[in-house]
Amino acid sequence: MEFKERLKNCRKALGLSQEELAKKAGVTGRTIQNYELGTRKPQHIEIVSRLATALETTVEYLLGNDGMLVISAYERGGSRTARDIDALVSEISGLFAGGDIEEDEKDGIMAALNQAYWMAKEKNKKFAPKKYSDKK
């Protein structure tokens, strides 16, 4: 189940409209609508935290392991990194579709791939042109 489905299910279970949830979480109704349609995802953990509180659930439940990886990537490396991780997670998730792999095994594989991404990114810093380097 994806973030958009978890969000909508929790909202409906509490009998809240999108506007009511938006007010409780301190976001706009349009934001909730976009989240539930899947056209946007939260980029900051604080927004997810406010949504979780308003929905009487946890951040971990709302995001799932894949979503936690993307949020973490955004906070650590910005929007481009978050897009990279989101694409990686989506592609890898496709490999498991219809398979017999346990959820905790899938989470372990995703975590290992995430770690490999960050290690590769760190290693490749030395190949970036000096004009893009933090060191001057």
**Cβ count within 10 A of residue 106:** 17
CATH annotation of 3-59: 1.10.260.40
Could you count the other beta carbons within 10 Å of the beta carbon of residue 118? Answer: 15
In three-state secondary structure terms, 36 is helix
- pTM for this entry: 0.62
State both tokens at 17: 């409209």
Tell me the pLDDT of the chain (136 aa) as tens digits.
788 999 999 999 999 999 999 999 999 999 999 999 999 988 788 999 999 999 999 888 888 777 777 777 877 778 888 888 778 777 776 666 666 667 677 777 777 877 888 888 787 777 766 665 554 4
